Chain A
């Protein structure tokens, strides 16, 4: 493991992340028991319709979140070295390759929380030329049956997508594309039923989707509260784990409760006038994957500059891009409208750039830090347009090029210096 000369763990200020973290760990330990008793176990991509699994009570782990856990536990360098030993490179595709690396681990039980159990089924998308191979290798290594959801080109571009996503999603996604994805979901349900012997109960799916809507509504309220409250009652280090751990279990009552708990805590702090950064002078927005192995990085700039990272996509996506009303009319179609658009929000211009600008305005942002993964072959968000759009609206942008999963390649000194220089030379002068 990499030797570090800096603090990587953030200071926890809320109780909800402690609850979600403890539950997550407990759930994971219980997962091993369930699998030992012969239950199916799914490993899925973050853009997969995991609500189906939730409704069918099939336990699952999400690829990218597993990477985040490995990263947070500082195990990335160990796992990526396993890839190298197997004849692959250890310096690319880190965000997608952690699980495959785990499958090569001669001591899997020493992984985070007892290690990743061998999945029996896997659900992935089709996109990145490396990603499909890594997933294939992982499935083969674990002996998992795989289902691939085809992608379908989005050729309807709608301004201000967030005004459509909750109720007018048929217009947003397009009927032809929705027809396609609804059929993909039917094929996926067939696959899951065949592989697990379980039957999807439509009423259970409706209940799950309604739970998701309720959960995300709390995120919406939380996001809006943080946006309007200066100084902010919490920063991203307070919310990312609480949100992502509950998102993993979205569709359950527990996840709804955790979303409500987070909102209640943030509201209480706001009502009491308590600030996460009492000397808050600057509000920063983080674009890109979370820096899971070094959440303390976000807090590094608080004391010196009064700079608070108040925004990441994790809470805001819940707020704007998950809620889909009219569940009862056609739950599969409603689910299709959610999961197929998640990638578009982040990667298709101008969906992404318009949203970032809207969020920067609403959250009273002074500067944006944009993490660009330098070892991801499929990275492409039209970053130029994102930067230009934000700068044009008066939000200075700092680009960090780094590997968000592998701590070994992180240069704390360089990254701190880059952001400090950005704050001093662009954000502070722009604020005056």
Chain B
């Protein structure tokens, strides 16, 4: 489905979309606020602390073009998403725009890339990279022992930020940052609700959510609320609906392809999707504990969770969203979902499900994929 005029006619939407589509330009624009920028590589990076430190968090999006550095340095086990992230870090397209790089443990492959980058700095004399830190959260196992570890990791990161900025970071500053982020999440939840009503396309939602990562929080929240206000009156997309899981998408290419085949993704479990705004950081006398708890207990990603957990939460997401179908789309070697699915299938009963594996960037078989999605859309219509 082509992007709709109702969306394109909304200036707030256009502003968000423009930033999401051109992240390098977006970061350049953001830097005009005079703050140093912190690239966040990993879904569970505690941006509240970065904001509290007076720094500007920026979501790392992969590089979508030729990836010679990824091809040179990375093994084939790094799927398309990780290759894009690595390429963006090392190919120089962000030179002069990024001051710090914070990597986080939401995938083991990020940890591996952190080791590779450290090694490249040691071994290649002319290699220039931002100052790096690693936030070593553990999120798969939900128990008190792991929670304690995550509090320790949060406090360690806070100290890193103190050393970077040379300033104390007070609890009040952290509370204020929590408020800013929570307000952003609440605004995005309005988008989530409108997606569920089939009023917003999955690709439009990506532009809104992803674009909002490239504004200062207050401005992002205002823009998202403006889009939500406008979208209340947008018409139903008329497409059959699906929940998406699988490899994270950082451009709208796949969702648009799916929409052109007659399916709207109305919910998903990815960061540039529902997952970012799910839950709020609470505020207690010890904010580092609150932040650690939030990132620990978030909606479980496939990369860092167990089959049993996903067999509960994914069917619940599908049920809550009232989606008519389920799509699992995996890049080559980003296929942990295949271990999740059989158990979910047992819970989901006869829900139409499409599983697509072994995909690459750029997509190698667009017309074949489109046929698969179109055929699946017909199946979903038939089942409803």
Contact = CB atoms under 8 A, between A and B. Distances in A.
A87 B342 contact: yes
Contact of A157 (B118, B141, B357): B118
The DSSP consensus for interface residues of chain A is: loop
A129 B149 contact: no
Contacts of A350: 119, 122-123
B297 interface: no
B35 to A, nearest CB: 26
A130 B119 contact: no
B307 A137 contact: yes
Contacts of A133: 306-307, 336, 339-340
Interface string B40-75: 000000000000000000000000000000001111
A80 to B, nearest CB: 13
B14 interface: no
Interface stretch (A145-153, A273-281, A359-367): A145-153
A137 B141 contact: no
Interface in A362-406: 372, 374, 376-385, 401
Nearest to B340: A133
Interface in B97-115: 105, 107-109, 111-112, 114-115
Contacts of A374: 76
A416 interface: no
A126 interface: yes
Given A133-B340, A148-B141, A187-B145, A92 B75 contact: no
Interface stretch (B26-34, B132-140, B215-223, B318-326): B132-140
Contacts of B73: 382, 384
A376 B116 CA distance: 18
Interface string B139-169: 0110001100100000000000000000000
Contact of A385 (B123, B145, B149, B304): B123
Contacts of A180: 149
A372 B78 CA distance: 13
A152 B340 CA distance: 25
B77 A378 contact: yes
Given A153-B105, A349-B116, A130 B335 contact: yes
A136 interface: yes
B334 interface: yes
Contacts of B341: 87
B197 interface: no
A398 B273 CA distance: 43
A382 B116 contact: yes
A11 interface: no
B153 to A, nearest CB: 9
A381 B322 CA distance: 43
B303 interface: yes
A243 B339 CA distance: 33
Interface string B291-324: 0000000000011101110000000000000000
Contacts of B251: none
Contact of B336 (A187, A377, A379): A377
A132 interface: yes
A136 B308 contact: yes
B282 interface: no
Contacts of A93: 339
A157 B119 CA distance: 9
B306 A132 contact: yes
Contacts of B122: 157, 350
Given A126-B141, A150-B146, A376 B340 contact: no
Q: Which of B108, B145, B146, B304 has the most CB of A within 10 A?
A: B108
Interface residues of A, number: 44
B138 A380 contact: no
Interface string A343-367: 0000111100000000000000000
A88 B338 contact: yes
B339 A151 contact: no
A380 B75 contact: yes
B286 interface: no
Given A130-B335, A350-B122, A379 B138 contact: no
Interface string A253-295: 0000000000000000000000000000000000000000000
A154 B118 CA distance: 11
B379 interface: no
Interface string A148-165: 101111110100000000
Given A136-B306, A136-B308, A349-B116, A130 B339 contact: yes
Contact of A377 (B77, B111, B342, B345): B77
A380 B78 contact: yes
B333 interface: yes
B138 A134 contact: no
A130 B303 CA distance: 8
Given A126-B140, A130-B336, A153-B136, A349 B119 contact: yes
A134 B109 contact: no
A150 B335 contact: no
A130 B111 CA distance: 15
Contact of B338 (A89, A128, A154): A89
A153 B75 contact: no
Contacts of B118: 157, 349
A108 interface: no
Given A157-B118, A349-B119, A380-B77, A88 B339 contact: yes
Contact of B115 (A132, A187, A348): A348
Contacts of B114: 153
A380 B303 CA distance: 16
Contacts of A143: none
Interface in A139-186: 140, 148, 150-155, 157, 180
Contact of B140 (A88, A132, A347, A384): A132
Interface in A66-87: 86-87
Contacts of B111: 153
B149 A150 contact: yes
A130 B37 CA distance: 33
A127 interface: yes
Contact of A376 (B74, B77, B146, B339): B77
A86 B342 contact: yes
Contacts of B107: 129
Nearest to A151: B138
A428 B114 CA distance: 37
Most buried by A among B112, B115, B146, B149: B115
Contacts of A154: 115
A127 B108 contact: yes
30 contacts: A86-B342, A88-B338, A92-B335, A93-B339, A126-B140, A129-B108, A129-B336, A132-B306, A133-B306, A133-B307, A137-B307, A148-B140, A148-B141, A150-B146, A150-B149, A151-B138, A152-B136, A153-B114, A180-B149, A187-B145, A349-B118, A350-B122, A372-B75, A374-B76, A378-B108, A379-B76, A379-B77, A380-B77, A384-B72, A385-B123
Interface of B: 72-78, 105, 107-109, 111-112, 114-116, 118-119, 122-123, 134, 136, 138, 140-141, 145-146, 149, 302-304, 306-308, 333-336, 338-342, 345, 357
Given A153-B134, A372-B75, 13 more contacts: A87-B342, A127-B108, A129-B108, A129-B303, A133-B340, A151-B138, A153-B114, A157-B118, A347-B112, A380-B78, A380-B112, A384-B74, A401-B76
- What are the 5 A-B residue pairs with the smallest beta carbon separation, nearest first? A87-B342, A349-B119, A133-B339, A129-B336, A380-B112
